[in-house]
Amino acid sequence: MSSLGLIPFSFHQMNTQFKLQPLDTLTFDNSFTRELPSDPETTNNRRQVKQSCYSRVHPTKASRPQLVAYAREVAEELNITSSVCETEDFVQVFSGNRSLSGMDHYATCYGGHQFGTWAGQLGDGRVINLGEIVNKYGERRTLQLKGAGPTPYARMADGFAVLRSSVREFLCSEAMHHLGIPTTRALSLVTTGDQVVRDMLYDGNPKPEPGAVICRVAQSFTRFGSFQIFTARGETDVLQRLIDYTIRTDFPHLGEPSTEVYLRWFEEVCRRTAEMIVHWMRVGFVHGVMNTDNMSILGLTIDYGPYGWLEDYAPDWTPNTTDAGGRRYCFGNQPQISHWNLTQLAQAIYPLIEQQEPLHLALGRYAKEFEHGWQSMMAQKLGLNAFDPVTDVDLVTELQEILQLVETDMTIFYRQLAEVDISTEPLNDASDMKLLEPLMEAYYETDQLTRDMITRTGKWIRCYKARVQKDSTLNGSRRKRMNAVNPNYVLRNYLAQLAIEKAEQGDNSRINELLELLRRPYDEQPGKEEYAKKRPDWARHRAGCSMLSCSS
């Protein structure tokens, strides 16, 4: 012991203890917390948060965090190498156990309409933002942990997430990106080593499940509900600060905030939302919970809960058990629900504009953008040069009706339609079954193919062949064009469920296999043909493979 009563401390020990890890070099520039009003209360208790855009809160530490998977493309965007992603430090940081210099933890305040009813304050109940990174390209990316513990917005919930739902969100975020659909991204998936109790089917049988944390990444996570909450409370000053910040940060090309710029901003939100919904309809994606708090102002797919992929083409299908009665958020309703949600956003920003007509015009822009985008998309799916309303409205309408006559796999149907030989002359009525041969893989029950259905489909194929021949498109060119927009692989619910069941037993191989597969969803991948097949019969009604609840 030295004369000062201090324990000797060597320079070697000091250098070891304070050695910087690679993640410590990340550059944080937290403009959201720097420029917007914060909750003055710092205790982490459930409450109504007034006059504030966010509350500061720290993650709950995980007992034994372990890495399940990471997306190397997202890591690279954040200036993080794959070798760093495989370190213990990466696991500690993105489980919430270690904070990096520059991080500023917070949860945001927002409200929303849930199933058409105003729900008041909602907020980040189990999401904790780590801060905003500026990468080497000067791009701003917000990082947030989902499932890292309660926040002041958690209401009666515990703030945690289970492995089951976290696997689904991790995989679908990346699958959607590689399909070319605007989406939030997923950097990492980590198990916590802790158990979380959930009632998966809401049937009164809760049970403990493995806990997990996912790191989500996006330019911004601001939602329609982020603006709604302040208008509902009459906090117009905070509303204006948030919209001004949003325009300056995420829409700087629109110019300095003003009434005119607010309107241009709303028009762009309408346009981006229309583009996103067109993409959903293109691949058969059903969000399942299109509440206004789950709608991004950037036109990103956000909050992957009880989503699903349309396997059997049934426009009234919803993956959400909570929505089973009203089917508000079914596949076919998604365009109309988006318009409804945008109308709520228009009402939220009205106090800053005080003009109804330009807002109505902007909402009309959504309808026009969606209709034009949908027609263009359908032309691409069918391999046409362009959508011709004179002929193609009837062609597409008849196709959508035919797809519902028997249980038909949407993904496989469009992929196989590219294999139809357009160069041959139309066959006579006796050859209807011959015309259907390339499409047979798409039908779940071939014994359901009635004579009338076969005749009607054969007639449609003849019309389709004649329409393509009018474009003078060669088989090879059409097939290439169609296969670029009609995926071969999508994240079918049963595939995700099989990966979840393995992961719950400690085997993460299926998650990483699916992640790699879904990086090239439009390609033929030798040896992976099994993943492009129809949903097996055993998965038709199995929990997690058909409909899901919001429990996560």
Annotated active-site residue 293? The verdict is: yes
Residues 210 and 122 in one domain: yes
What 8-state DSSP symbol labels residue 109?
A: -
The residue from 422, 443, 472 where one domain ends is 472
Instruction: Give me the residue label for tokens 């040069």.
Output: 385
pLDDT at residue 545 in the model: 85
Q: At residue 16, does pLDDT exceed 50? A: no
Residue 498 CA to residue 45 CA, distance in Å, equals: 38
Section 351-361 average pLDDT = 97
Closest residue by Cα to residue 213 from 98, 94, 307: 94
The arithmetic mean of pLDDT across residues 498-516, rounded, is: 97
Span 306-343, pLDDT tens digits:
999 999 999 999 999 999 999 999 999 999 999 999 99
Judged against a pLDDT cut of 80, whether residue 104 lies above it is answered with: yes
Cβ-contact 486, 474 below 8 angstroms: no
In a domain, 10, yes or no: no
The predicted structure's pLDDT at residue 312: 94
Return the pLDDT at 551.
57
Q: Which class for 482: exposed (0-12), middle (13-18), buried (19 or more C-beta within 10 A)?
A: buried
Q: Which of these ranges, 64-68, 204-208, 541-545, has the smallest mean pLDDT?
A: 541-545
Residue 390 corresponds to which tokens in the numbers above? 């004179």
For residue 200, give both structure tokens: 């998966």
DSSP calls for 260-324: HHHHHHHHHHHHHHHHHHHHHHHHTEE-S---GGG-BTT--B---SS-EE--B--TT--SBGGGT
Question: Rounded to an integer, what distance in angstroms lies between the CA atom of residue 91 and that of residue 98?
Answer: 9
Domain range for 428: 389-472
460: which residues sit within 8 A by CB, 6+ positions away? 395, 398, 399, 402
Which residue type is seen at 90? Answer: F
Among residues 180, 209, 224, which one ends one of the domains? 224
Is 80 part of a structural domain of the chain? yes
**Distance, C-alpha 17 to centroid of its chain:** 40
Flag whether 39 is in a domain.
Answer: yes
Pair 371, 395 in one domain: no
Q: Among the options 39, 124, 244, 293, which is catalytic?
A: 293
Tell whether 72 and 188 lie within a shared domain.
yes
- Looking at the structure, tell me whether residues 403 and 332 fall in a common domain: no
pLDDT at 547: 72
Does the pLDDT value for residue 378 go beyond 60? yes
**Average model confidence (pLDDT) across the chain:** 93
Is 183 a residue whose pLDDT tops 50? yes
Tell me: pLDDT of 425 over 70. no
The domain boundary residue, chosen from 381, 402, 436: 381
- Find, among 243, 24, 253, 229, the residue nearest to 122 by Cα: 229
Q: What is the sign, positive or negative, of the torsion defined by CA atoms of 313, 319, 321, 323? A: negative
Same domain, residue pair 369 and 452: no
What's the confidence (pLDDT) of residue 10? 38
Both 167 and 43 in a single domain? yes
- Whole-angstrom Cα distance, residue 13 to residue 30? 33
**Digit-coded pLDDT (tens) for 105-118:** 999 999 999 999 99
Q: Are residues 156 and 27 in the same domain?
A: yes
Q: Give the per-residue pLDDT at 2.
A: 36
Buried b (16+ CB within 10 A) or exposed e, 136-153: eeeebbbbbbbbbbbbbb
Same domain? 93 vs 179: yes
Q: What percent of the chain has pLDDT over 70?
A: 94
- For the stretch 481-499, pLDDT in tens is 999 999 999 999 999 999 9
Considering the domain architecture, whether residues 375 and 407 belong to the same structural domain is answered as no
Domain match, 188 and 313 both:
no
State the average pLDDT over residues 354-374.
97
User: Is there a domain that residue 372 lies in?
Assistant: yes
> What is the number of structural domains in the chain?
3
Asked whether residue 283 falls in the same domain as residue 395, the answer is no
Is 144 domain-assigned? yes
* Residue 135 included in any domain: yes
For residue 121, being part of any structural domain is answered with yes
Contact 271, 278 (CB under 8 A): no
The predicted model gives 201-214 an average pLDDT of 88
pLDDT at position 21: 81
One domain, residues 34 and 167: yes
**Tens of pLDDT, residues 426-454:** 555 558 889 999 999 999 999 999 999 99
User: Is 50 domain-assigned?
Assistant: yes
Q: Which pLDDT band holds residue 231 (cuts at 50, 70, 90)? A: very high
